[in-house]
Amino acid sequence: MNKLIFLGGEDVSARIEISKKFISLGYNIEIIGTEKEDKFLENSIPYRKYKLNRELNLVSDIKTILELRKILKEQKKETIIHAFDTKPTMFLPIAAIGLKHIKVARTITGMGRIFTENSLKNKTLRIVYNFIQKIISKKVDFTIFQNSDDYDYFIENFLVSPDKAEIVKSSGIDLDKYTKNIDSTQIERLKDELGLDKKQITIILVSRIVRQKGILNYLEATKYCFDNGYKFNFLLVGQLDSDNFITKDEINKYSEYVKYLGRREDVKELLALSDIFVLPTYYREGVPRVLLEASALGLALIATNMPGCKDVVEDEYNGKLIKIKNSQDLYEKMIYIVKNDLIEKFGKNAKEKVKMFDLNIVVKNYDKIYKKLGDY
């Protein structure tokens, strides 16, 4: 069988579904990440943990590279290792130097926080980022981009060769998973549990609770709605994060307008009971998976005109694009969709648009790339 390893960080369990697809194609799969083992054991997928510091720390970063190199040396035959997320995609090529049996593939899942704002610090870090990318590009066998903006940036700055790069939209979504097993009785119970007004529109944001995701803009926009007589059901779902964090006290200031639910395991059900999905992020992402999940369940979409987001949201087709860091624009677009009865139209179109991000399409494209890299 063909050996394929997926390498990621704290959300590497997102690769479980695609791993199952490749197992069915005859690949020998292993996943390496920083999560607990539980989800991988449940799905009978070989998993190994390694240590990864999300922040820049020279000592811990070197230790991570050496740990990865040790894992790579243990592979006894030609192996493709496909890395996701910023640090793993940068550390893997370094760890693989001189190891001819290792083929390095990577997916650039967005450009991250240093491309979010034009501060002096970020401009300096971009220079460092570009320098590192040029150095490691010689050891990268293939680079996959999730949107054309990131692809163009790498090509224009000579960070990757066009013959060793390709755009594959998103990491894919298993559409069957989001269209089956929606229990309407359970949805109604959940509405009661949350104390939602069933006569009102429900608007939801699911995200890590960090500033760059536009959380405060969403909270401010909910207040604007209430101040102007639009008392919709507003939900905020996600885990508080220590990285550019927003405090619980900041969220509680808006508790009169929005229900903060914290981290939830029933996100699919929460999306299913909602009408409009909002993502006012100004974080430069690949293709936000949560936009695909909301699309699969037929929600109207509102997102910032940012790389990745605009690959999913087509203005006036399946939703509205908004300006970054603009609570007023977000408020106006929410009201616009409701007043013009566009929820059903946008939701229907969202379900149609998301078909291009189907997991089976991504698997097919990845499989072609892997076959280019070796005797697969």
Strand partners, 143: 106, 165
Contact call for residues 273 and 196 (beta carbons, < 8 A): yes
| Cα gap 223→337, rounded to integer Å | 17
DSSP state of 314: P
* Beta strand 27-33 pairing with 47-49: parallel
> How many C-beta neighbours within 10 Å does residue 349 have?
20
- Residue of 4, 48, 46, 47 whose CA lies nearest to 25: 4
Q: Tokens in use for 179?
A: 């269209």
Contact call for residues 194 and 259 (beta carbons, < 8 A): yes
| CA distance readout (Å), 285 to 134, 145, 262, 291, 350 | 21, 11, 22, 12, 19
Contact call for residues 306 and 285 (beta carbons, < 8 A): yes
Q: Tokens in use for 340?
A: 């013009």
- Residue of 178, 179, 174 whose CA lies nearest to 362: 174
| Cα gap 246→208, rounded to integer Å | 10
Contact call for residues 287 and 147 (beta carbons, < 8 A): yes
Contact call for residues 71 and 52 (beta carbons, < 8 A): no
Go through the domains of the chain in sequence order and give each one's CATH number.
Answer: 2-172+358-373 (3.40.50.2000), 175-356 (3.40.50.2000)
What is the number of residues in the chain? 376
Counting beta carbons within 10 angstroms of the beta carbon of residue 223, is it exposed (0 to 12), middle (13 to 18) or buried (19 or more)? middle
List, run by run, the mean pLDDT of 10-residue segments along the chain (376 residues): 88 94 95 94 95 86 96 93 94 95 94 81 90 93 96 96 95 86 87 95 95 96 97 95 80 96 94 97 92 97 96 98 97 98 98 96 96 77
Q: Tokens in use for 71?
A: 């894992």
| Cα gap 278→204, rounded to integer Å | 6
- pLDDT for 54: 79
Contact call for residues 34 and 6 (beta carbons, < 8 A): no
Contact call for residues 105 and 144 (beta carbons, < 8 A): yes
Q: Phi first, then psi: what are they for 353, rounded to 5°?
A: -65, -35
| DSSP helix/strand/coil, 104 | strand
* Beta strand 319-322 pairing with 300-304: parallel
As a whole number of Å, the end-to-end CA separation of the chain is: 9
